[in-house]
Amino acid sequence: MEFLRKENYRDVMKALEDDQIELFREAYLSLHPYDQATIFEEVSSEERFQIYTYLSPEEMSELSTHMNFEFFSERLLEMNPEYAARILDDLPTDDAVDILNLLDKNQATSLLMLMDKEEADEIRSLLHYEEKTAGSIMTTEYVVINQNMTIREAMVHLRSAAPDAETIYYVFVVDDEQKLVGVISLRDLIISEQDDKVSDVMSDRVVSSYVGDHQEDIAQLMRDYDFLALPVVDLQQHLLGIITVDDILDVMDIEASDDYSKLAAVTDMEPGDQTAFNAAKKRLPWLIILLFLGLITASLIGRFEETLDQVAVLAIFIPLIAGMAGNSGTQALAVTVRGLATGEISKEGFFKRLRRETVTGLITGVTSGILMFFIILVWMDHLYLGIIVGVSIAASLLVATIAGSLMPLLMHKFHIDPAVASGPFITTINDIISVLIYFGLATSFMYLLI
């Protein structure tokens, strides 16, 4: 962006300010669409309206694919409806579906009514698929050939169909009933003999996705196989569409943001232009839940008031033990959620991962406990206090690590998003556990501390 600002931004903005259409178009359209989108997102609303008059719908559609779709869906509503509909006509079908899904139902319907009928019908066929499934992110703009074609016939068909296809690196092969039977690469099409049958050259070991599969599973599949495109089929193996790698990169970004927001106990990631009221509204539900959980911790400490009255020095180590347990639990939670997301745990096994985390918690707990024992011994010259604090830390870290790994594993087993076991949530739970362990030990061995 720094290079763009120095070399191009000034020229583009000056042409825009001086209302010099030809100079603006020359400077703006010479940029990569990503840079065009970056400038578009930064300009004022008045300058955006100028750009709408300077650029054709086709030119706007090209740069819009590099924008945040939520941002662009809002921009569509400020455009002339006919102009907006023509932009949607020119967008890849899957991108148009994603944008229309962000609009109010009535707004989306109005734009569809203004679109080319064939394009609108294609988009409507995808809009009914459940969100975050293969059907909702697939595109119907792909090249398909029949297995009975010759290579020569397939190449002729490819040349005519390629301009409207989103990708031609893979060409999918169907039978007479439009069932997926194979795939052939562009390379194999080029090097094969012209009179060869497609069925003789294609690979029939084709990996596909069911139209109802979750987008996160599809992302994992495409990452494992290094696919550039993945065919989507129905239960009868009819080819319905394809999912391209650029869509999967967007999915991975969305899923990562979603998991991160849940780990931070936020409903979803907040855009930078969101109002303080809306941000607070999203954060409050989790914070209120955590507040009540915190009250449980406070009430537990209150139950051990007599212990604190007799040995006030115990209060010094409450934040230390609770913080250590919370940190250990969060570490185990993050590692386990990542393992579930990448599929590592599926390969490793549920119990093997739990056993590994238990041993890890034991090692970290015992090491931290011994270290704390010697610190208290040197600092306070109190053998039994050092033993109680050290054992409490060791036990708390062990239990917190097991809880941090066990909770997402159980949630995954019951088909609940493991990221819901958020960092603040697991930290608060471990606070309760660590307080019980610490004061339970202190109360049991009170006679050694007085």
Q: What is the per-residue pLDDT for 88?
A: 94
pLDDT at 425 over 80: no
Burial of 386 (0-12, 13-18, 19+ CB in 10 A): buried
**Among the CATH numbers 3.40.50.1000, 3.40.50.2300, 3.10.580.10, 3.40.50.970, which is that of 144-252?**
3.10.580.10
Taking the domain 2-131, which CATH number applies? 1.25.60.10
Q: What is the per-residue pLDDT for 303?
A: 83
Quick count: other Cβ atoms within 10 Å of Cβ 99? 25
In contact, 172 and 183? CB cutoff 8 Å = yes
pLDDT at 270 over 70: no
Q: Tell me the three state secondary structure of residue 181.
A: strand
Q: Which pLDDT tens digit goes with each residue over 48-93? A: 999 999 999 999 999 988 888 889 999 999 999 999 999 999 998 8
Q: What are phi and psi of 210, to 5 degrees?
A: -75, 145
Find, among 139, 138, 157, the residue nearest to 147 by Cα: 157
Token match 């010099």: residue?
A: 20
Taking the domain 276-449, which CATH number applies? 1.10.357.20
In contact, 84 and 111? CB cutoff 8 Å = yes
Residues of the chain with CATH 3.10.580.10: 144-252
* Cβ-based neighbours of 17, under 8 Å, separated by 6 or more: none
Sign of the torsion angle spanned by Cα atoms 401, 405, 407, 410: negative
First to last CA, the chain: 66
> Cα–Cα distances in Å, from 400 out to 39, 167, 380, 397, 430?
48, 49, 27, 5, 6
In contact, 190 and 201? CB cutoff 8 Å = no
What strand order describes the sheet that includes 180-185? 144-146, 170-174, 180-185
Report the alpha-carbon distance of residue 74 to residue 254 in Å, rounded: 19
Tokens read off for 248: 């999967």
In contact, 60 and 52? CB cutoff 8 Å = yes
Find, among 104, 56, 106, the residue nearest to 84 by Cα: 56
In contact, 4 and 31? CB cutoff 8 Å = yes
Q: Which pLDDT tens digit goes with each residue over 127-163? A: 888 888 999 889 888 889 999 999 999 999 999 988 8
pLDDT at 125 over 80: yes
**What is the rounded average pLDDT of the residues 186-206?**
92
**What is the rounded average pLDDT of the residues 1-30?**
80
Residues of the chain with CATH 1.25.60.10: 2-131
Report the alpha-carbon distance of residue 214 to residue 221 in Å, rounded: 11
Which alpha helices (DSSP H) does 150-244 contain, by range? 151-161, 186-191, 198-201, 215-225
Tokens read off for 401: 């690590």
Tokens read off for 150: 């010759």
Does pTM surpass 0.75?
no
Q: What is the DSSP letter of 139?
A: B
pLDDT band at 2 (very low <50, low <70, confident <90, very high): very low
Q: What is the per-residue pLDDT for 207?
A: 92
Tokens read off for 263: 């780990």
Q: Tell me the three state secondary structure of residue 28.
A: helix
